[in-house]
Amino acid sequence: MWIDKQSPEIFHALNGVALAVRNAAAAADLDRAVMELVNVRVSQLTGCPFCLDLHTRAAREAGVTQQQLDVLPGWQRGPYLFTELQQAALSVAETVTSLPDEESMAREYAAARQHLSDDQMSVLIWAATAIGAFNRASIVSKHPVRVRKEN
């Protein structure tokens, strides 16, 4: 069952959250590339093929390089490919997705806050939360990834 089709009013509400996150990101000076890196990284962690397909394309359109996407699972070991702000955003995304113990969460948030304003931190937490919800909806619905011809 595709839960987005079975309960469209809930899916529309989730889309409203995503739009609010996008608007808040723009207001907080978080560019589209940063936000798509977060979307891709969370989707990698949850293993959502539909969202990975969608957001890797969106990330490239937003200016994320193919090399950054290629090494994204190991971003902490290759941080020189990512700005400090991108690294902080990815750290927040991973923390929100994995929900570690309180001490680890506090340590990761403190490190990220060295590069993020309060508004940016809040937006990134909401972004990771929202894409995580989309990931779960797509995974449980078994949304297919359409094969397309590569350029």
Per-residue model confidence as pLDDT tens digits over 119-141? 999 999 999 999 999 999 999 99
Per-residue model confidence as pLDDT tens digits over 78-116? 778 999 999 999 999 999 999 999 999 999 999 999 999
* Domains of the chain, earliest start first: 9-141 (1.20.1290.10)
Task: Report angle CA 74, 119, 40 to the nearest 5 degrees.
Answer: 30
* Per-residue pLDDT at 151: 59
Q: How far is CA 138 from the centre of its chain?
A: 15
Q: Regarding predicted confidence, which is higher, 151 or 26?
A: 26
Tell me the average pLDDT of the chain. 95
Q: Is the pLDDT of residue 15 over 70?
A: yes
Strand, coil or helix: 118: helix
Name the pLDDT band for 150 (thresholds 50, 70, 90). confident
CB atoms within 10 A of CB 123: 28
Per-residue model confidence as pLDDT tens digits over 40-79? 999 999 999 999 999 999 999 999 999 999 999 999 997 7
Report the percent of the chain where pLDDT is more than 70: 99
Name the pLDDT band for 9 (thresholds 50, 70, 90). very high
This prediction has a pTM of 0.94
| Residues 10-25, mean pLDDT to the nearest whole number | 97
Contact 124, 30 (CB under 8 A): yes
